[in-house]
Amino acid sequence: MFTQLSLRLRIFLFFAFLAVATSALAIAGLTLGYIRLGEDHALSAFVIAGLIGVVAIFGLTTWVWVLFDENVARPVERLAADMRARAHADVEQEIDHAPARYLGDLGTAAAAVTANLTETRNAMAMAVGRETARLSLEKSRLETLLAEAPDGVLFCTPDHSVVLYNARAVEILGHTEALGLNRPVRHLLMPGPILQAYTRLLEAGETEGADILCATRRGARLLEARIRLLYLEGQETSGPGYVLSLRDVSKDLKVHAERATLLDRLIDATDDVLPALPEPQKSTLSETLSDIAARKAATDTQWWPMEALPLTDLGAALRARLARKDVALTLDLPTRRIRCDGYAVTRMLERLALGWSGQGATAFTLRLAQLGDSAVTLSLESNAPAPDRSDLTDWLSAPLSPGFASFSGGDVQTTHGTRVTLGDGAEGRSALQFSMPLAAPKQTLPARAIQYDFDLLHADLPKELSQAPLSKLNFVIFDTETTGLNPQVDEICQIAAVRVVNGRIRPDERFDMLVDPGRKIPTASTAVHHITNEMVQGAPGVAEALTRFHRFADNNVLVAHNAPFDMAFLQRREAEIGLRFDQPILDTVLFSAILFGQSAEHTLDALCTRLAITIPEDDRHTAIGDAIGTAAAFAKMIPMMEAAELPTLGATIAAFDRHARLIGHLN
């Protein structure tokens, strides 16, 4: 009980007790003395002595208490307040220890401690600032490198969930609701090849990685992928994560298949029909062969990897390679871009220049001979006589390099649909000329974003979901706009959601869809959410919208404000779409009741006001605006629930039961 009282009050009570107890003892002593004396006429003397003694005791005690209060109790309280301010309120000025001069070294010791605390805190703040700046720079570099990577990149946990993806991955995999942080890879790609390669690399302890082919869940497109294990120092998970780099090769394989089919037709027609047919049928076969040749030529340049390369870059690369062989090259090229395999074309030109220089050619020039609408003609020129056609054939038949032993200049011609020919250059010089297709105009793409959360690499959720901390779970916070307030007869006309992963809102991972309710939207409802009948024309129907939302919300805890209302519209359609929303469902109304009491107002506006959250007026009563506002409130309430000793999903749902009379919950 006394620990709840202030220091000064406890000291006052101590001195008061001391005065009363001393006075009582003095009176008891005088009484005993009077009784032992046994003379009645001495009573008045004893009473006067007692009164004087009691007054003296109270006076002396009060005087000592005042001195003690002034010079000990008050300075101690002031010293404690000063130390608390410097410990918790970032107060930096020195403690004035003059009032504590009667406390011995306590005042100077407290001043020294707080001064050292301030210095330590400032030094730590500076160190943290420097480290934060460094990490911010590294983060910026990482984002830039991964965002601009030509391949799609996925970083995955040992349990095959995504912790990072770049914009190219979104382009390759498509804007699917299954792509998001902490979502399973198996929802994006067929898992067999990935699991097999992961297991093999893990068992072998490989760090170099492996190349695999995998297929997308959506569209069954084939991807060329490279998987590499990530052995991170200090990792807390049972095994290493891994990185997947993805490249869509569906188009290339389709072209290869087309070429194979055409060649098979040619072989079959030649081997089986031509020898046995008379002249009229041979004419038919000849037409077939001509058709095959034409169609094959159209695919010659499609299957080899090409890039949009500026002519100036091509010339600079060739000049640098020839300079190492003491062969000079002059460039006369515009800044136009061509579609080619830059490495292969450069090596082919190098082979031609070196072969020609062996015949005495010097002072080479690479220039633009002709510019057309879809192609350019390049000319490699020299003052030396033109080579013989047989020499040109030999140069083009030789391998480009030891690493390309089976790939020659002739193959470069085939893959690029061109032929190197002898021609006339500028000012009477000899020339080797060939054409290259122009690249399509460069498109201005929107800024690429990268989404990641490396903390997910160290997160292992309990097998029992109820024991999982709220801050470690994945949530989909959603809201609906409807044609009315009766879930039995009204329909959804808009549904939107945003994800909260690892306790943070992921604004880029959102679901926002207008829905055709299949009925007219009443004017009164439009006045609230501003969705008109014209806006929902051509929008997906309710069944399709809920099917796509189910895919977005899969493996996530659902959260809504007044969840029973929104869930009634979803659960009513479960039988129709053949899917169930059977994950845990949390309600921010009940969160508000737990944290702020049932007597408080629990509307979304009131909750946002208490938590200093502003929903723009134009976004209020829109599904996405209310979903983002609810998500912001929910993210702020997670640490508040932990402070209220309700850190897990199971404890939260159990606490909902105490507020069932306010609003029912669905778990």
Residue type, 213: L
- Among 88, 103, 118, identify where a domain stops: 103
Q: Is the domain of 507 the same as that of 575? A: yes
Q: At 406, is the pLDDT very low, low, confident or very high (cuts 50, 70, 90)?
A: low
Instruction: Give me the pLDDT at residue 588, please.
Output: 93
Instruction: Confirm whether 291 is domain-assigned.
Output: yes
Mean pLDDT calculated for residue range 97-114? 76
Identify the helix (H) or strand (E) that includes residue 1.
Answer: none
Q: At 448, is the pLDDT very low, low, confident or very high (cuts 50, 70, 90)?
A: very low
Q: Is the domain of 545 the same as that of 636? A: yes
Mean pLDDT calculated for residue range 508-517? 93
- Among 103, 123, 158, identify where a domain stops: 103
* CATH number of the domain encompassing residue 477: 3.30.420.10
Mean pLDDT calculated for residue range 318-340? 88
Q: Is the domain of 491 the same as that of 624? A: yes
Instruction: Confirm whether 460 is domain-assigned.
Output: no
Q: Is the domain of 476 the same as that of 583? A: yes
Question: In this predicted model, which residue has the larger pLDDT, 84 or 616?
Answer: 616
Between the CA of residue 264 and those of 56, 219, 272, 292, 336, what are the distances in Å? 125, 28, 12, 10, 39
Q: Which of the given ranges, 155-159, 254-258, 282-286, 359-363, has the highest pLDDT on average?
A: 155-159
Quote the CA–CA distance of 572 and 566 in Å, as a whole number.
Answer: 10
Q: Is the domain of 243 the same as that of 266? A: no
Mean pLDDT calculated for residue range 469-497? 93
- Of 34-38, 288-292, 450-454, 568-572, the least confident: 450-454
Instruction: Confirm whether 81 is domain-assigned.
Output: yes
Question: Is 621 one of the annotated active-site residues of the chain?
Answer: yes
pLDDT above 90: residue 271:
no
Q: How many CB atoms lie within 10 A of CB 467?
A: 13
Q: Is the domain of 225 the same as that of 265? A: no
Instruction: Give me the pLDDT at residue 550, please.
Output: 95
Averaged pLDDT score across all residues of the chain = 82
Instruction: Confirm whether 446 is domain-assigned.
Output: no
Q: Is the domain of 422 the same as that of 317? A: yes
* CATH number of the domain encompassing residue 329: 3.30.565.10
Q: Which of the given ranges, 95-104, 290-299, 615-624, has the highest pLDDT on average?
A: 615-624
Q: Is the domain of 506 the same as that of 655? A: yes
pLDDT in tens, 123-159: 888 888 888 887 777 777 666 766 667 788 999 999 8
Instruction: Give me the pLDDT at residue 98, please.
Output: 74
Q: Given 160, 256, 458, 621, which residue is catalytic?
A: 621
Instruction: Give me the pLDDT at residue 467, please.
Output: 87
Q: Is the domain of 655 the same as that of 619? A: yes
* CATH number of the domain encompassing residue 158: 3.30.450.20
Q: Is the domain of 318 the same as that of 422? A: yes
Instruction: Confirm whether 491 is domain-assigned.
Output: yes
Instruction: Give me the pLDDT at residue 500, please.
Output: 94
- Of 150-159, 376-385, 395-404, the least confident: 395-404
Indicate left, alpha or beta for 181 from its phi (over 0: left) and psi (-120 to 50: alpha).
Answer: beta
Please count the structural domains in the chain: 5
- Among 238, 266, 299, identify where a domain stops: 299
Quote the CA–CA distance of 602 and 607 in Å, as a whole number.
Answer: 6
Contact 438, 376 (CB under 8 A): yes
Q: Is the domain of 214 the same as that of 324? A: no
Q: At 106, is the pLDDT very low, low, confident or very high (cuts 50, 70, 90)?
A: confident
Question: In this predicted model, which residue has the larger pLDDT, 261 or 218?
Answer: 218
pLDDT in tens, 215-225: 788 776 778 78
pTM, rounded to two decimals = 0.54
Instruction: Confirm whether 113 is domain-assigned.
Output: no
Q: Is the domain of 210 the same as that of 268? A: no
Instruction: Confirm whether 139 is domain-assigned.
Output: no
Q: What range does the domain containing 388 cover?
A: 307-437
Orientation of helix 43-68 relative to helix 7-37, angle to 10°: 160
Instruction: Give me the pLDDT at residue 269, please.
Output: 66
Instruction: Confirm whether 597 is domain-assigned.
Output: yes
Contact 581, 570 (CB under 8 A): yes
